[in-house]
């Protein structure tokens, strides 16, 4: 069964959209303080998860709340892992992890970082990791016996890691990085689910994005809670999955 996941708890315990999203999703990736989130917001969204029968993952990031964890950090692995210890201490019983923002992107392409994170995850007896199917982190975690939950994004556009065929998200610095129309996002998602294909955008010499297609695998579709179409998109995607429950 395809599941909708959402990065959530990043705007306090009482944000109305975040709370409404908890009724529309199957996995809540709850921010644990690295980029956003507090003990109070973790508690609030874990209670909502129980109420609405939603699975939870700990959503961990570079320790950079000033930049919402969206920029790579020049940080020693030892210091990064110490921060992850502190973040995970808010949800130590949870055995599913999704990294956030720049850390998510960096460990998709950086084998050394993926190895360090994989060792840390193994030390926590982690069972599941939400990550792209072709990421370096996925490869490391599979080697260590963890279950990979391959993810695709509903309202973000894709590119390729430079010099490879590995999928990556278009940088948020690009004006075309996000999809702002529910109809367009649903076309994008239906293609992922029904054809296992996604459009990727690479910039040619004049800076214009050139579109190609690439294969993609997903068992869960992510909607960012701070997307301007998050709630409407969650409703549309949920209705689609109800009509076509066998969609893979």
Please list the residues that pair with 171 across neighbouring strands: none
Please list the residues that pair with 245 across neighbouring strands: none
pLDDT digits (tens, 9 = 90+) for 196-227: 999 999 987 777 888 999 999 999 999 999 99
Per cent of the chain over pLDDT 70 is 98
Asked whether residue 138 is domain-assigned, the answer is yes
Asked whether residue 122 is domain-assigned, the answer is yes
Instruction: Report the mean per-residue pLDDT for the chain.
Output: 95
Instruction: Read off the pLDDT of each residue in 77-86 and give the average, rounded to a whole number.
Output: 98
Coil, helix or strand at residue 82: helix
d(CA 104, CA 61): 8
Per-residue pLDDT for 184 more than 60? yes
Number of structural domains (the chain) is 1
Per-residue pLDDT for 234 more than 90? yes
Q: How many CB atoms lie within 10 A of CB 196?
A: 14
Asked whether residue 205 is domain-assigned, the answer is no
Residue-level pLDDT at 209 = 85
Query: Is the alpha carbon torsion for 36, 58, 4, 153 positive or negative?
Result: positive
pLDDT digits (tens, 9 = 90+) for 12-22: 999 999 999 99
Residue-level pLDDT at 46 = 98
Residue-level pLDDT at 162 = 84
Instruction: Provide the whole-model pTM.
Output: 0.95
Strands 167-169 and 158-160 turn out to be antiparallel
Asked whether residue 161 is domain-assigned, the answer is no
Asked whether residue 188 is domain-assigned, the answer is no
Residue-level pLDDT at 246 = 59
pLDDT digits (tens, 9 = 90+) for 109-149: 999 999 999 999 999 999 999 999 999 999 999 999 999 99
CATH number at 65 reads 3.20.20.370
Per-residue pLDDT for 248 more than 70? no
Residue-level pLDDT at 151 = 98
Asked whether residue 167 is domain-assigned, the answer is no
* Domain span holding position 113: 3-151+218-243
pLDDT band at 164 (very low <50, low <70, confident <90, very high): confident
Coil, helix or strand at residue 94: coil
């Amino acid at each position: 069964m395809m599941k909708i996941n959402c990065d959530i708890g990043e705007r306090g315990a009482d944000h109305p959209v975040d709370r409404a999203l908890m009724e529309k999703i199957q996995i809540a990736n709850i921010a644990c303080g690295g980029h956003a989130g507090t003990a109070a917001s973790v508690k609030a969204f874990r209670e909502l998860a129980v109420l609405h029968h939603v699975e939870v993952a700990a959503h961990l990031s570079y320790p950079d709340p000033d930049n919402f964890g969206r920029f790579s950090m020049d940080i020693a692995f030892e210091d990064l892992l110490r921060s992850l210890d502190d973040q995970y201490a808010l949800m130590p019983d949870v055995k599913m992890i999704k990294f956030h923002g720049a850390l998510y992107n960096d460990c998709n392409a950086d084998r050394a970082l993926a190895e360090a994170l994989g060792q840390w995850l193994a030390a926590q007896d982690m069972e599941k990791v939400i990550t792209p199917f072709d990421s370096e982190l996925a490869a490391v975690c599979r080697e260590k016996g963890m279950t990979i939950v391959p993810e695709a994004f509903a309202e973000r556009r894709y590119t390729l890691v430079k010099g490879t065929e590995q999928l990556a998200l278009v940088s948020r610095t690009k004006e075309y990085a996000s999809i702002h129309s529910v109809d367009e996002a649903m076309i994008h998602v239906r293609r992922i689910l029904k054809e296992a294909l996604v459009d990727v955008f690479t910039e040619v010499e004049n800076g214009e994005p050139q579109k190609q297609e690439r294969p993609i695998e997903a068992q869960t579709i992510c909607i960012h809670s701070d997307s301007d179409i998050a709630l409407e998109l969650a409703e549309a995607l949920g209705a689609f999955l109800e009509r076509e429950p066998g969609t893979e």
